[in-house]
Structure 1
Amino acid sequence: MSPWQLLQAAIATLIIWLASLLPPRIASNTGSLLIRKIGPLLHWHRRGMANLLHVYPEMSVKDRRNIMRGVWDNIGRTIGEYGCIRKVGPSVTVSGLENVPPEGTPVIFVTAHMANWEALAWFSRLCGRQLLDVYRKPNNVYLNKLLEIRSKGLPVTMVEKNNKSGLYLLRKLREGGAINLFVDQKGTRGDYLLPFLGKNALTIRAPALLAAKTGALIIPGRMIRENNHNLHIKIYPPLRKSNEMDDLEGADIMHEVNNIISSWVEETPEQWLWIHRRWKNAEIKS
């Protein structure tokens, strides 16, 4: 493991430890203050600016910078709040619980990296169902270990995305379980190529495939940040259901999911993680 990765993990550990000592609002404000200064100096800032230009070619540089300023503010608050997530969690509110079916009905919640996406871990307690939260393992083994330690005691079961996780999720859904999938990151070779914010992007097919094999409902849900510190989860009605889904129907379902998430991003662009390589298949210079 490289010295740089070790340094990354050491810095992250220090920040999270310091944040854990602070009240949530102070941790959030401190994280915002720091990351708003540091973020624009990083290569991720250039990527975010390039992504905004790709999606909104007519947008001025000033407007793109303003959005990215909000993005770094949100990321900083999320980092600060993550350090004291056990204090933040109980204050999270939720609406749309009438759209959540009772225990025993298989459900796939589809969501995005918006507002404080880490606080979605508290949705399991709010909706009364045990959730499996699928995550992508960081390349930095030290950071991954830190995340594993921090996730202990949270009201959600973390499932690492790997070559065995698909079968595990399939079994859990057939048993009537509920899973949470982030679907706003770039898919892989063999996934669907569908519009996202009006531009073609590789889109994961897992939600559609799992729903077709298990009869699970696909339910969109997102985190919203209000007045800097208030975190609210909004759950939407289930998408149409099909147990006989072919590849074309699966693409239609994920197209609908992309449209829903795109509408969230357009509503609060500063709360989405624009620094992802979401359109890596497209010609974006970053």
Structure 2
Amino acid sequence: MSWSLYKRTRSHSRVQLVFQYLTYLTFGAIVACLSKLPYAQRVALGGVWFQYIVSPISGSKARISENIEHVLPNLGLKDKQKVFGGVPNNIGRTFTELFFPDDFLQIIETCEITGEGYNAFKEAQLTGQPVILVAGHFGNYDSIRGRLVLEGHNIGSLYKPLSNPFLNRIYVSRISKIGFPLFPN
């Protein structure tokens, strides 16, 4: 990827673009190192890397804490701290899975989808009725979409573009391998 692909825009100052490009290069080096490991170790190390390195320096701790408070306001402090400790690791594991889509698809191919929602989806498919899937999730948000695509379903998906244009380009190319079409929201 060439630096010249990204011109200075109103939304990104030159300093921001330099920082984002350096972040992209660092991320690329880490992904290259992770690619040398077996998948399970790669995902685990990606979680640890995000939990102990990326999260503390990125300022994500405040956002994670606010989100936990918003979603689980009645949860006790001890339980909130337990959830808080696991969120950055889970984010890192998810991104590691998404940045290695071929391996990720092999893993989810063995997973079974169950439940009333899945049964309703299959029934709608049989009758030719269009379906909008809305999902909350724990873990990788692309697991269900990827599994349904592997079953032969055409699943469009909304995604939130990354604020770093260099990383976003790779992110979109990787999640496109899990399923397409994609629509930025």
Higher helix share: 2
Cα deviation, 1:150-192, whole Å, max 9, x if unaligned, reads 235x251132236xxxxxxxxxxxxxxxxxxxxxxxxxxxxxx
> How far did residue 113 of structure 1 move?
5.1
Superposition RMSD on alpha carbons, in Å? 2.5
Q: Secondary structure at the match of 1:115?
A: coil
1:1-286 aligned at under 5 Å gives the runs 1=12, 2-38=17-53, 39-54=55-70, 55-56=72-73, 59-60=76-77, 62-92=78-108, 93-96=111-114, 97-100=118-121, 101-102=124-125, 104-112=128-136, 114-152=138-176, 154-161=177-184
**Bigger relative contact order, structure 1 or 2, given CA contacts below 8 A and separation 6+?**
1
What 5-or-longer segments of structure 2 have no aligned partner? Answer: 1-11
Find the aligned partners of 2:75 and 2:38 in 1 and give their Cα distance.
42
Aligned residues: 160
Kindly indicate whether the alpha-carbon contact (under 8 Å) linking 1:90 and 1:122 is maintained by their aligned counterparts in 2: no
- TM, length-normalised to structure 2: 0.71
Q: Structure 1 residues 57 and 155, CA, compared in 2 at 3 Å: closer, same or farther?
A: closer
Cα deviation, 1:113-172, whole Å, max 9, x if unaligned, reads 5301133442233443111112232232212211233235x251132236xxxxxxxxxx
Q: Secondary structure at the match of 2:138?
A: coil
Kindly indicate whether the alpha-carbon contact (under 8 Å) linking 1:133 and 1:159 is maintained by their aligned counterparts in 2: yes
Find the aligned partners of 1:135 and 1:76 in 2 and give their Cα distance.
17
> How far did residue 41 of structure 1 move?
4.7
> How far did residue 57 of structure 1 move?
5.9
Kindly indicate whether the alpha-carbon contact (under 8 Å) linking 1:20 and 1:83 is maintained by their aligned counterparts in 2: no
Find the aligned partners of 1:112 and 1:18 in 2 and give their Cα distance.
32
Higher strand share: 1
What 5-or-longer segments of structure 1 have no aligned partner? Answer: 163-286
Percent identity between the two aligned chains: 23
> How far did residue 23 of structure 1 move?
1.9
Find the aligned partners of 1:36 and 1:144 in 2 and give their Cα distance.
21
Q: Structure 1 residues 80 and 140, CA, compared in 2 at 3 Å: closer, same or farther?
A: closer
Q: Structure 1 residues 44 and 155, CA, compared in 2 at 3 Å: closer, same or farther?
A: closer
Kindly indicate whether the alpha-carbon contact (under 8 Å) linking 1:13 and 1:146 is maintained by their aligned counterparts in 2: no
Find the aligned partners of 2:34 and 2:22 in 1 and give their Cα distance.
18
